[in-house]
Structure 1
Amino acid sequence: MRSISVLKDFSGTKSWFRGSVLVLAGFLAFSTIYAVGLEPMVYLHDTFHDIRHSTGFPCH
């Protein structure tokens, strides 16, 4: 029975960790969208075009 009580003690930590990961992912997504929004579209297109070439996807 002792192992069950130990698992209950870690349940709050797991929930806190999951929440932290979600907040961090949201922050990274928001900051990426914000940073991309500051760039002119030509640079954005060229960047993603080069990424497609480097990963092996066909062009156009």
Structure 2
Amino acid sequence: MPPVGRLEKFDMTTQTLAPVAAGTRSSERPVAIALAAMLGLGLLFMAGFSPAIAFHNAAHDFRHTQNFPCH
């Protein structure tokens, strides 16, 4: 304990480092978006023109739920 009447000085110098993000780099983001869009459109195209009527109907119903004109 410090003597009575005497102030003790606390030096609070701590350094905090910003955490590094574990996501994609900003240069990789456009490539990831383009790849996801191509994959999604490819799946929609294949399901829309599929000979299996269940796939076609599912894609058709999905287009209607998204307000996408299909007729």
TM category, shorter: 0.3 to 0.5
More helix by share: 1
TM-score, length of structure 1 as denominator length:
0.44
TM-score, length of structure 2 as denominator length:
0.38
**Structure of larger gyration radius:** 2
